[in-house]
Structure 1
C-alpha cells in the first residue's frame, strides 16, 4: 500500500542552504528510520538496498501558494538559509506495506518536542498528514487494489480516461545506458512507473500499450541542480499524454492506474533525494 506522507516541520535555528540538499535530507530520513529500527536503517543505507521510498526537497511555502495548480511547482534548492521558526513541510512516500509497518512506531509515538537534526539546525516534527487536503495535494494513501479499481477505463465516457496530464514538480531525468536523458518520452515515463508498480503492487501488468501513448501538450524546461559533489540536469513543467487509437479497455485502465500511481512512485533518477517528483493533474 503506497503512502504519501507530509511531515510539517519547524526549525529552531536557521538551516544553512548547504544542508538542504537531497543528500542531507536522505540522511535525515535514515536517521528517522534508525530511531525505531536500526537494522532497517542500516539496510536502507546500503547503496544496493531496495529503496521503496521517495523524498521531496524541503518546502517553506504552501504548495498552493508556491506554484499554482495545486502545487505543480516545488522548490528544490535554496540560496539563503531558512530562518528559525519558518513552517516547512517535507514529503516522504513509502511504496510497500512492510516499510510503512516497520515505521508505525515512529508515526504513533511522534514527540513534537523531540529535536531532529539537519546540519547544525534542530527541527521539530509538529504533525504528519497522510490524507489529501485542499491545501496539501501531496498527502495521500491508497491500496494498490484501490488505485487499480478506481482507474479510469474505456467505459467511463470521460475525456480524462484517455488524457493523462502530468506535472514534473522537481527536476526529472532518466538513465539510458551510461548517460542521462531529460526528455520525458512515453517509454521513459511509463516504463519507470511500470517497473515500480510491478515491483511493489502484487498486481503485475505484463505489458502496457506504450505505443498508444502520445504527448499532445508539452510545457517543460530544464533546470540545473549543482552541489559540491555533482551536477544534475532535469526537466520541470507539464506534459499531457493522450491514449490514441483502438486500445483494449484493460490497457486503458492500466495506463490510468500508472498515471495515478505517479504521485507515490515518482519517475526517473534520484527520487530518494527529491528529484523526479510528479503527479497527475485533473481539470477542475
Structure 2
C-alpha cells in the first residue's frame, strides 16, 4: 500500500506557481515602476483604443482588493498617483484593428507615485491572476519585474549631479498639455516642469511654491536640441488629443545655476518624469517618458492607425459642434465629442458593446447616439 500511494503521488501534476519570483521593495518606498511581460494565448485582434481596457482592468483589480483606494483613484484629486503604458511589442495593423501574435511577448508598464498605491501593489502581486483579461484578447502574465527602481521623493532630491549636466527626455508615447482650453503639443520647459511639479506637490510631502520656480524655469532652461513629431490620437474615453513624440535635450544657463535650491529641484523633477509621465491622460497610456535619448521610430502602421482614429474624431467633433450651435443645441461640446468618438470608433469596426463598456454608458444610449450622429452626418453631406 505505501508503494501504491507513492506511485499515485508521482502521477499527480504539480500546481504551477506564479509568479516564480516577485519584485520587492523597502517599506518606506514611495515610487516604483513595474513592467509586465504578457503573452497572448492565441493570435487575436485588438481594438485601437485598448488602453481604455487596460485602465479598466487595473482599476477593477484595485477594486477587488481595496475598494477604498479604488474609489479614490476614480473620484479623488485630479493628480492620479499611478499611470500605465500601452503595450509594446510586435503589434501589427490588421485592417482597422490591431493584431496580437501568439507566442510573442508584449510589455506593459504600471507606475506608482504614492505609498497607498505601493501598498496595494505589494499585496496584489502576491495574488496576481495568471490572465490579464483584455476583452476578447486574454494575455497570460509571464513575469513581473521592476522597470524604474524603488525610491522616495527625498532620495530623488538628494541625487543631484556633482556637475551641471544636460537632461534628455524621450517621450515614447503621445504627450500633450492643456493650455487655455486647448491641447498644446510642445514640450516647452515651463509646461514640462509644471507637469512634474504638480505631482511632486501632491505626493512628495515637500510642496514647493509653483510661481517662483516656474519663473526660474522659464528664464533659465535652455533647449539644446530636439527631434519631435506631432500626431492626433484618440485618448481617454472621449475625444482626441493633439500630442507629440520624440526626444529633447535641455540644460541650465549659468545664471540659473546660481540658485542651488531650484537647481536641485530641477534634477529631482527630471528623475521623477519616468515614474509620473508627462502631461495629461497618463492613466490611459499617454506621456510615457524616459531619461535617455531614444530616437523616435519612423511612423509605424500602428501609429498611422491611431492617428487615423484621432483625426476622424477631431473632424467629426468640429462638424457636430458647428451644427449643434446652429440649431441651438445645449451641452454642445460634450455631446459633439461623445457622438464623434462613438461614430469614429464604430467606423473603425468596433462593436457598440465594447464602446458602451469603455465609455461606461448604457448600450441603448450608445446605439441611439450613433444613429443620431449618422443622421446628422448625412444631413451635413447632402
Higher RCO (Cα < 8 Å, 6 or more apart): 1
Kindly indicate whether residue 270 of structure 2 is the aligned counterpart of residue 241 of structure 1: no
- The alpha-carbon distance between structure 1 residues 36 and 174, as it changes in their structure 2 partners (threshold 3 A), is same
Partner of 2:50: 21
Match of 2:223 in 1: 215
Please give the alpha-carbon distance, in whole angstroms, between the structure 2 residues aligned to 1:89 and 1:282. Answer: 20
Q: Which has the higher strand share?
A: 1
- How much has 1:250 moved relative to structure 2? 2.2
Residue 126 (structure 1) aligns with = 142
Provide, for residues 98-138 of structure 1, a one-character-per-residue CA deviation record: whole Å limited to 9, x for no partner: 11113321112335xx32310112222222112xxxxxxx4
Correspondence 1:143-154 to 2 at 5 A:
143-152=152-161
Deviation, 1:39, is 3.4
Shift of 1:178: 1.1
Higher helix share: 2
Structure 1 gap segments, 5+ residues each: 67-77, 131-137
Q: Match of 1:95?
A: 113
> Unpaired segments of 5 or more residues in structure 2?
1-29, 295-382
Partner of 1:8: 37
Superposition TM-score, scaled by structure 1 size: 0.81
CA separation of 1:149/1:48 partners in 2, compared to 1, >3 Å: closer, same or farther?
closer
Decide whether the 8 Å contact of 1:54 with 1:273 is kept in 2.
yes
Runs of 4+ aligned structure 1 residues displaced above 4 Å come to 47-50
Given that residues 9 and 126 in structure 1 are in contact (C-alpha distance below 8 angstroms), is that contact kept between their aligned partners in structure 2? yes
Deviation at 1:239, TM superposition (A): 1.0
Larger Rg belongs to: 2
**In 1, Cα distance between the equivalents of 2:101 and 2:49?**
13
Flag the 1:144–1:282 CA change in 2: closer, same or farther, 3 A.
farther
- Contact persistence 2:169–2:293 (CA under 8 A): no
What is the distance in 2 between the residues matched to 1:128 and 1:243? 37
Contact 1:219 1:239 in 2 (8 A): yes
Q: CA deviation at 1:79?
A: 4.7
Match of 2:184 in 1: 181
Question: Residues 178 and 192 (structure 1 numbering): CA distance in 2 closer, same or farther, change over 3 Å?
Answer: same
Confirm or deny: 8 A CA contact 1:259 1:279 kept in the other structure.
no
CA distance in 2, matches of 1:196, 1:54: 12
Separation (CA, whole Å) in 2 of partners of 1:190 and 1:81: 36
Separation in 2, partners of 1:20, 1:222: 19
Kept in 1, the 8 Å contact 2:131–2:140? The answer is: yes
Structure 2 Cα separation of the partners of residues 139 and 109 of structure 1: 22
- 2:204 aligns with 201
For 2:265, which of 254, 259, 277 is the aligned residue?
Answer: 254
The answer to whether the Cα contact below 8 Å between 1:266 and 1:276 also exists between their aligned partners in 2 is: yes
Q: What's the TM-score, normalizing by structure 2?
A: 0.61
Instruction: Tell me the CA shift for residue 32 of structure 1.
Output: 2.0
SS of 1:139's equivalent in the other structure is strand
Task: Tell me if structure 1 keeps the 8 A contact 2:148–2:274.
Answer: no
Residue pairs, 1:53-68, within 5 angstroms: 53-60=82-89
Q: CA deviation at 1:50?
A: 5.1
Count of matched residue pairs: 253
Kept in 2, the 8 Å contact 1:3–1:93? The answer is yes
By how many angstroms is 1:238 displaced?
0.8
Q: How many angstroms does 1:145 deviate by?
A: 1.3
